Structure 1
Amino acid sequence: MARRGSRSSTFERRAVRHDRHGRAGRSAATGPHLPPLKNRIDTFDMTVAAAADFLRATWPEELAAVRFEVGSMPAGSQDTDGVARWWTSPSERRVVLYRLPIQRLSKLHRDDELHQRMMIESCVFRATAELIGKDPWDLGPDRFHF
């Protein structure tokens, strides 16, 4: 025999949402909302890390204890040449690359993902060359011979 009357107060009724066709809403296939897979900060960090790994593999003795770091902007006063793109300290064995000046102040003849990555890599090469006292083109000699 079916019960008649109202439910007890221990049960709460779920809110069921229907779309305009009378169907209940569907959940996302991936589960909860996920953050975007690609953004400028993560892309910049991954590009710096990849270039640093390449340089460490090419020059293991010179770059063994060097730390590569990413900063957003240089602190303090600006030099006469403009906004600094990186800072190196041979005594601390540190290279700091500033993301905002590299991304926003670089004049690219073609503003696409490849050229942005090449600009970031060139800054890593130039900063590392400044740190160890070499020419940037000497850091990856086999890379440029076809």
Structure 2
Amino acid sequence: MPALETRAERFDLSVGTAAEFLRSAWPELRDVRFEVAGMPAESDEDGIPRWRVLSDEKRIILYRLPIERLNRLHRNDDLHRRMMVESCVFRAAAEYLDRDPWDLGPDRFRFL
């Protein structure tokens, strides 16, 4: 039987969920488009980028393959893969806003 969801679909869902959370919490992100691409066209001095922030165009592009394949997970399961994707969305949005990623959703990480 074919998989119910592909890896790319799960990635898109994780990006979309994190982006919607950030848009609801930060008015500055409401008009920003979060896009998913496979690979960047070129690498930079730091290696292969995981995302690209285009502030003038109000766009954040997340590159699926580098995020999925080049990040090291201490546990390789669905939860930790989703957390890695969400952390990249938060870090890209923080770069867009020129803030620390932890400032974007402090209540999201607080355990009651």
Which interval holds the TM-score relative to the shorter structure? over 0.9
1:85-100 matches, within 5 Å, as 85-100=50-65
**SS of aligned partner of 2:52:** strand
Q: Write the distance in 1 (CA, Å) between the matches of 2:59 and 2:71.
A: 23
Structure of greater relative contact order (alpha carbons < 8 Å, 6+ residues apart): 2
CA distance in 2, matches of 1:145, 1:115: 18
- Write the distance in 2 (CA, Å) between the matches of 1:35 and 1:66: 34
> How far is the alpha carbon of 1:36 from its aligned partner?
3.1
Unaligned runs of 5+ in 2: none
TM-score (norm 2): 0.94
The answer to whether the Cα contact below 8 Å between 2:24 and 2:30 also exists between their aligned partners in 1 is: no
1:75 aligns with 2:75: no
1:16 corresponds to = none
Question: In the aligned structure 1, how far is the partner of 2:80 from the partner of 2:70?
Answer: 14
For residues 145 and 123 of structure 1, the distance between their equivalents in structure 2, rounded to whole angstroms, comes to 19
In structure 1, the residue corresponding to 2:62 is in which secondary structure? Answer: strand
AA of the residue aligned to 1:69: E
List runs of 5+ in structure 1 lacking aligned partners: 1-33
Runs (4 or more) in structure 1 with deviation over 4 Å come to none
Give CA deviations for 1:87-115 in whole Å, capped at 9, x if unaligned.
00111110000000000111111111110
Which secondary structure state, in structure 1, belongs to the residue aligned with residue 29 of structure 2?
A: coil
1:42 aligns with 2:25: no
Residue-by-residue CA offset, 1:19-76 (whole Å, 9 max, x unaligned):
xxxxxxxxxxxxxxx86311100000000000001101111x2112100000000003
Letter paired with 1:44: F
Task: State how far apart, in whole Å, the 2-side matches of 1:145 and 1:113 are.
Answer: 21
Name which of 14, 23, 43 aligns with 1:56. 23
Q: CA deviation at 1:144?
A: 2.1
TM (normalized to structure 1)? Answer: 0.73
- Paired residue for 2:75? 110
Bigger fraction of residues in helix: 2
Which residue number corresponds to residue 66 of structure 1? 32
Opposite residue 116 of structure 1, the aligned amino acid is R
